[in-house]
Amino acid sequence: MSDFILELYSEEIPAGMQARAMADLQNHIIGFLAAFDVVPSNVQSHSAPQRIALSMDGLPENLPDRHEQKKGPRLDAPEKAIEGFLRANGLENTDALSVEEHPKGAFYVLEVNQKGQPLRQALAAFLPEMIATFAWPKSMRWGSGSLRWVRPLRAILCCLDGAIVPFEIDGIVSGNVTYGHRFMAPEPIVIERASEYLAALEKAYVLADPAIRQAMIAEVATQLVEQVGGQLVEDAGLISETAGLVEWPVPLLGKIDAEFMDVPEEVLISVMRTHQKYFALRGKDSKLMPYFITVSNMQTADQGAKIIAGNERVLRARLSDGRFFWDQDRKQSLESRLPDLEKVTFQARLGTVRQKSDRLVHLAETLAAAFAADVAHAQKAAHLCKADLVSGMVYEFPELQGIMGGYYANHDGLDAAVGAAIRDHYKPLGPGDALPATAEGQLVALADKIDTLTGFWSIDEKPTGSKDPYALRRAALGVIRILQEGQVRLSLKHVFAQALALHGSDNIDTLSDDLMNFVGDRLKVYLRDRGLSHDIVSAVFADGGDDLVVLISRAEKLAAFLASDDGGNLLAAYRRAQGICAKAEKLNGDIQSKLLVESSEQELHQAINSLDAADFTNLAAYDDYLNGLATLRAPVDGFFDAVMVNDDNADIRQNRLNLLQALLDKMRQAAAFELIE
């Protein structure tokens, strides 16, 4: 059996694109082999700033014959669909296609009968096309060539069983040569076997395994931090990013000038992380330490002294900017900045940021009753929460919006609750982000997200497919998390209606319903991550409720009920009863006791009548109702075991159908069971 190694060597690939490219390369090659029923062993993907690679073994010398039947579009399919199928299979017309009849119509079929061939020959034919069509988020052409790649492609290493797989693309000829570290080992390296690849590159100061680079960064950085009695600020994302920037990571410890340590730590961390890719350190007292970790891409004779000095110089200049903005911004109050918000457009059709702030004040008053918050403080925070957008610091460092507003509010002497609410009102920024720490912060954050959602709904700018340029799905998830995790009870549709009125919207009821459906879809995603299936959510959402705390509680309790023996059997009975009633010509709902001739139908009738309607806004009432439904299992089982619904007597038959309909009605009060898969 043969081994295989492929490496595509280029100029530096952006760190954020490497993992996806590595996975795509593997999928392309594995998919190609799978078409011939070839399953390789020891498959390993590799990526580094200047290369993506794939190695494997257990490959045959020759590919087997390939026999495949590809089902195409229907004969009466649109012409473009047929053309697409032909194009995908390298055909110019339908002459090579046969036609097969199926219950759903006549379909084109392509019979693929491909004789086996040497794997080396098949790869030489496949790889140029794969490389030419490789999908990068962004690509470029260079020189006079036509190949598009993420960065200029410089060399292709491709060997099978120790010998080169020969092909050429855009003037680049495949070979058995790659290159080590650009500065420490730039000489060509001959590699013929997959087993040689990682070790040969490591000797040339290249770690081609990103996981090893990440582990090295974390380990060495931690050792350096311990030397100064601190601990690394945890940042897995930055470790992953820096591992994509270097092929031979060398963490180095630098110092921050003491004069900058009274600047807010978020400014220091933002400058270091976002702009310089440095790691911050904390002391045992959790305060930021005057040190940083930078990751170099090479070893030097002076142990990185010049590199550290250069990075300290660059950081000093960046922090000087931050210090300047910090000092200047505090000379002006947040309140005095509000007129400048009138010059900042929130969205062309939704007005200015100042207008948004005014709407938030109104919404804060609307939402206040649902929160244990100080209404005056919440409204003050809503009034000022966007003012830092026109500060020098946030203009230079946009990622600090809200955070700096909190600092400036405290500097202005405002109540601590106001500053905390301003600071947190963009939260949660994603599924893993914390909620605002205070009730006032949660209130303003909810108002902000609802104003954004209703605003874009009012101008019919909704997410479509995978496109969501205004992050409205994230806003909806934020609404869900604030209400659920904070156990905030309110009528969301009513709040949507009031927010839409502030936007001057028409068709408020229609838009509110549509927004509730959108939130319902986001709720399914949210609860799916918590182990609840989408159909459970649909079943409890069907009655039009809009208190998310109630709906989520009902979904969780319904899922537990259906997982029990009583719940599972009752669901089966519901489906059986629904199927019987669906075939009935008419159902008048009138159950006559005198026509209940069997004891089992009398018992079912009595059990159904014992279930009273409940107010499910009381969370405990839903539990009680489900427990009541559980008591129906025995009489329902008894009914179906002993009673023939379609009795010869028309009156008795109609009465039994009405009885089953009454059972369905009682169960539907708890949920739309027909929506449960």
- Cβ burial of 659 (10 Å; 0-12, 13-18, 19+) is buried
H/E segment holding residue 294: strand 288-296
Helix, strand or coil for residue 251?
strand
pLDDT band for position 432 (50/70/90)?
Answer: confident
Q: Assign residue 516 the CATH number of its domain.
A: 1.10.3210
For the stretch 202-253, pLDDT in tens is 999 999 999 999 999 999 999 999 999 999 998 999 999 999 999 999 999 9
Assess whether 34 and 76 both reside in one domain. no
Comparing 341 with 593, the larger pLDDT belongs to 341
pLDDT for the residue numbered 257: 95
Would you report the helix, strand and coil content of the chain in percent, each value rounded to 5?
50, 15, 30
- Cβ atoms within 10 Å of 29's Cβ, excluding its own: 21
Q: According to the model, what pLDDT value does residue 310 have?
A: 96
Name the percent of the chain lying above pLDDT 70: 100
Residue 546 is assigned to a structural domain of this protein: no
Same-domain status, 76 and 97: yes
One-letter identity of residue 676: I
Q: Residue 525: which domain range?
A: 334-530
Length of the chain: 677
Judge whether 568 lies within some domain: yes
End position of a domain, from candidates 96, 114, 132 = 114
User: Tens digits of per-residue pLDDT, 26-47?
Assistant: 999 999 999 888 999 999 999 9
Same domain for 286 and 350, yes or no, is no
Please determine, for residue 89, whether its predicted confidence score (pLDDT) is greater than 80: no
**Residues 386 and 515 sit within 8 Å (Cβ to Cβ):** no
Q: State yes or no: pLDDT of 112 exceeds 80.
A: no
DSSP label at 247?
Answer: S
Structure tokens belonging to residue 629: 């439904």
pLDDT band, very low/low/confident/very high, at 303 (cuts 50, 70, 90): very high
pLDDT in tens, 495-510: 999 999 999 998 999 9
Indicate the SS3 state at residue 665: helix
pLDDT at residue 449 in the model: 98
Contact 410, 416 (CB under 8 A): yes
CA pair distance 400, 393, nearest whole angstrom: 8
Q: For residue 550, tell me if it sits in a domain.
A: no
Q: How many independent structural domains does the chain possess?
A: 5
Query: What sign results for the dihedral spanned by CA atoms 159, 162, 165, 171?
Result: positive
The confidence score (pLDDT) of residue 662 equals: 92
Residue 582 belongs to a domain with what CATH number?
1.10.730.10
Which residues contact residue 185 at a Cβ distance below 8 angstroms, ignoring those fewer than 6 apart?
203, 204, 205, 206
Query: What's the pLDDT tens digit per position in 555-607?
Result: 999 999 999 999 999 999 999 999 888 887 777 778 988 989 899 989 999 99
CB 251 within 8 A of CB 294: yes
Answer whether residue 430 is part of any domain: yes
Domain end, chosen from 153, 182, 203, is at 203
Residue 549 lies in a domain: no
Indicate if 98 and 136 belong to the same structural domain. Answer: no
- Whether residue 125 is found in the same domain as residue 158: yes
- Is position 547 within any domain? no
Which amino acid is located at 43 in the chain? V
Query: Measured between alpha carbons, how far is 122 from 109 in angstroms, rounded to an integer?
Result: 24
pLDDT in tens, 270-281: 999 988 999 999
Task: Evaluate whether residue 654 is within a structural domain.
Answer: yes
Average pLDDT, the chain: 93
Q: Is the pLDDT of residue 68 over 80?
A: no
* Same domain assignment for residues 262 and 311: yes
Please tell me whether residues 387 and 479 are part of one structural domain. Answer: yes
Specify whether 94 is located in the same domain as 237: no
Using the 3D structure, point to which of 308, 329, 350 is the last residue of a domain: 329
| For residue 65, pLDDT beyond 80 | no
Confidence grade of residue 106 (pLDDT, cut at 50, 70, 90): confident
Mark whether 411 and 507 lie in a shared domain: yes
| CA–CA separation, 357 and 574 (whole Å) | 51
Of 134-143, 348-357, 650-659, the least confident? 650-659
Residues 519 and 417 grouped into a single domain = yes
* Mean pLDDT of the region 241-266: 96
Domain identity same for 359 and 421: yes
Instruction: Give the pLDDT band of residue 612 (cuts 50, 70, 90).
Output: confident
Q: Is residue 542 part of a domain?
A: no
Going from the C-alpha of 475 to that of each of 45, 346, 478, 519, the distances in angstroms are 36, 16, 5, 10
Are 637 and 599 in the same domain? Answer: yes
pLDDT tens for each residue of 622-653: 999 999 999 999 999 999 999 898 888 988 98
Structure confidence at residue 583 (pLDDT): 84
